[in-house]
Structure 1
Amino acid sequence: MKNIQIEKIVERILVQSGSSVQVELEEFFPGDRFAGGKYNFGSHTITLYIEEIKAQCLQVFSSLDHFEEYLAIVFAHEIGHAEDRELAELIQKMEEAGNDVLKKRIALQIERNAWDYARMLIPEKLHSFMDTIIGYSLEPYYEALEVSA
């Protein structure tokens, strides 16, 4: 997929959201995590890692046939972080949390909030596709809490 198509998808969702977040496109995440996107609270910037998103799409669906939809969903999720009115408070609570279980619960809440917002940006016809992605995304949080989804 050409960057121009990716930029069109990003622009469409950004306009739809009304968010003022800045967006950067990069090829790879500069770390050892498997991150398709990252929201930076301090700079109010979303970075999308295109090759990581492709790898995730292949891992979950075994093809890139639905890469555009996958990208849109990942981006909508990151906008969910950017537009989360509770995020600053949740970050503060996480920093003040006295134990790991509480930190993990707060991290899960941050992710759920972002997914709830993302659902409003994605057409309903894609919600079952999105639910699969959400399941994979939240699985490590539930496993960390030893809670079944």
Structure 2
Amino acid sequence: MNDHTLAPLLLSLYTKSGSEAVLQYQSFFPGNRLVGGKYHLGTHTVTLYIEVIKQQCLQLFGTLERLQDYALVVLAHELGHAEDDELPLLADQLEAAATQLERDRTALKIEENAWRFAKELLTDIEPAFFDEVAEQSLFSYRTAINLQTA
């Protein structure tokens, strides 16, 4: 799998979404985190970090066999942020949260909204594959809340 076969698939999904967000590609996320995609509310930009997406796919599945599907899931999730009408309000709530629990609950809501959009957009992806990626993504958010409410 090379980036030349990945780009047309990603562009096709982006077009299908109807999003007006700017879509850009970079190799790596700046910093030491394994971030495969990022949505920037202020610039309405989705950035995919292609080499990091490959690393994440290898970590989750031990192979790049499902790289195309995985990259589509990452893009759909980031487009979910871009198309979330609640995001500006939720971002304000996140910033104004008085407690860590409030921040964590708001962050979880932001992520769940994006995953809901992604699931509706990705009608051709195997549901079990999608659910595995989404659950892995949401795990740390849910764990943080559970630790505080236990």
Match of 2:9 in 1: 9
Match of 1:72 in 2: 72
Q: Does 1:135 align with 2:135?
A: yes
Aligned Cα root-mean-square deviation (Å): 1.2
Q: Does 1:93 align with 2:97?
A: no
Give the TM-score normalised by the residue count of structure 1: 0.94
Deviation at 1:3, TM superposition (A): 2.7
Deviation at 1:117, TM superposition (A): 0.1
Deviation at 1:31, TM superposition (A): 1.3
Deviation at 1:112, TM superposition (A): 0.2
Deviation at 1:16, TM superposition (A): 0.7
Deviation at 1:130, TM superposition (A): 0.5
- Where structure 2 has 5 or more consecutive residues not aligned to the other structure, the ranges are none
Q: Deviations over 1:69-115 (max 9, x none)?
A: 00000000000000000000000111111111000000000000000
Find the aligned partners of 1:79 and 1:5 in 2 and give their Cα distance: 20
Segment of structure 1 superposing worse, 50-59 or 2-11: 2-11
Runs of 4+ in 1 over 6 A off after TM superposition: none
Q: How does 1:58-69 map to 2 (within 5 A)?
A: 58-69=58-69
Segment of structure 1 superposing worse, 124-133 or 34-43: 124-133
Letter in 2 for 1:133: V
Secondary structure of 1:29's counterpart equals coil
- Where structure 1 has 5 or more consecutive residues not aligned to the other structure, the ranges are none
Secondary structure of 2:126's counterpart equals helix
Letter in 2 for 1:135: E
Give the TM-score normalised by the residue count of structure 2: 0.94
Identity of matched residues, %: 41
